[in-house]
Amino acid sequence: QVQLVESGGGLVQAGGSLRLSCAASGRMFSSYPMGWLRQAPGMEREFVAVISWSGDSTYYSDSVKGRFTISRDNAKNTVYLQMNNLKPEDTAVYYCAADGQRRRIISGTNEYWGQGTQVTVSS
């Protein structure tokens, strides 16, 4: 069993930065790919980024590539999403995700979800 708790969301001006954190509990954390997805008002949930269990492989959606960086610290059971050069269209609830298979995180069919943290980018 894996439990995920996000933090770090907030209100920021366009061009600013935020770092989201996701604290995980459960002994399977270090062996699971982890990721982030987001959902804007009235929109479907969409994939943002995923990282392998070892941290040596990452994959991003085209909309955030070059601006967002996903990382993890297995010693702290935490995954991060550094978001730079934020845009108003990045406004959404951001969800931490975990699953034994990376493809399920990319498709949003992963087993474990956090409760979400709100990110609002003003223009």
Residue 26 pLDDT grade (very low, low, confident, very high; cuts 50, 70, 90): confident
Query: What's the pLDDT score for residue 28?
Result: 76
CA torsion, ordered 86, 66, 23, 113, to nearest 10 deg? 90
With residue 102 as reference, give the H or E element that holds it. helix 102-107
Residue ranges with strand state E in the chain: 3-7, 10-13, 18-25, 34-39, 46-51, 58-60, 68-73, 78-83, 92-98, 112-113, 117-122
Q: For residues 30 and 76, is the Cβ–Cβ distance under 8 A?
A: no
Average pLDDT in the 23-29 region? 84
Q: Is the confidence at residue 115, as pLDDT, over 90?
A: yes
Is the model more confident about 27 or about 23?
Answer: 23
